[in-house]
Chains A and B, each alone.
Chain A
């Protein structure tokens, strides 16, 4: 069965520094998608970045980049130049293939709470 593991319950970083949030996954299917979402205290899940299993390059979206190591089954999120507004919960998620019976549902990790200090 597919599984997402986030081993860091909490992390802190100084403002303007870079931080890496870890995510490992387990699946036997060659086709999958990996997502990172941010959940601030308001509760809404905000999409940050996506990496497809067949993508040749690591995904980047502004200050967010994904360090995708397929052989190690890891998809770590790197946030560069941290800002105070980056303080939030961060969830890694995997999308099951659409015709595996999973219908694209997302499987989430337990999350990492990031605190950015001034």
Chain B
């Protein structure tokens, strides 16, 4: 079946502009995660969705960042008034559900959106 898809694959924007990044999870996956990978760095968690609700937004770096999920499927990450430090690869991942004790519930990642803020 289809994997996680993200669009756009690349985005170049000017400082101060708003951008929207889209994620289509694997069909049937109720859990959705956004991560950010800055140049040469590991991944940092941004936000988690279970269905349409976001019980964990602890990784959003500022109030310029927001995300929503509709229909328990597509998610959009919005960055308002972009800054140069927002330049990074934004990765989306999905999994079947929350794992219980000892269950794997692997997160499967999309190809990412490479954002460059000039």
Measured CB to CB, the residues of A under 8 A from B are: 31, 33, 35, 37, 42-47, 50, 52-55, 91, 93, 95, 97-98, 101-111
Known A-B contacts A54-B101, A98-B98; A44 and B109 likewise in contact (beta carbons under 8 Å) = yes
What residues of B have a CB within 8 angstroms of the CB of A111 in the complex? Answer: 42
- Contact A104 B99, beta carbon cutoff 8 Å: yes
- Contact A50 B48, beta carbon cutoff 8 Å: no
- Contact A106 B107, beta carbon cutoff 8 Å: yes
Known A-B contacts A50-B104, A103-B48; A110 and B99 likewise in contact (beta carbons under 8 Å) = no
- Contact A110 B41, beta carbon cutoff 8 Å: yes
Q: Which of B36-66 contact A (CB under 8 A)?
A: 41-45, 48, 50, 55-56, 59
Tell whether B115 is near chain A: CB-to-CB under 8 Å: no
Of B100, B108, B111, which is within 8 A of A98 by CB? Answer: B100
- Contact A45 B109, beta carbon cutoff 8 Å: yes
Of A44, A53, A91, which is within 8 A of B102 by CB? Answer: A53
What residues of A have a CB within 8 angstroms of the CB of B110 in the complex? Answer: 44
- Contact A37 B102, beta carbon cutoff 8 Å: no
26 contacts between A and B (CB under 8 A): A31-B101, A31-B102, A35-B107, A42-B111, A44-B109, A44-B111, A45-B43, A45-B93, A47-B107, A55-B102, A95-B99, A102-B56, A103-B48, A103-B50, A104-B95, A104-B98, A104-B99, A104-B105, A105-B56, A105-B59, A106-B35, A106-B107, A109-B42, A110-B41, A110-B42, A111-B42
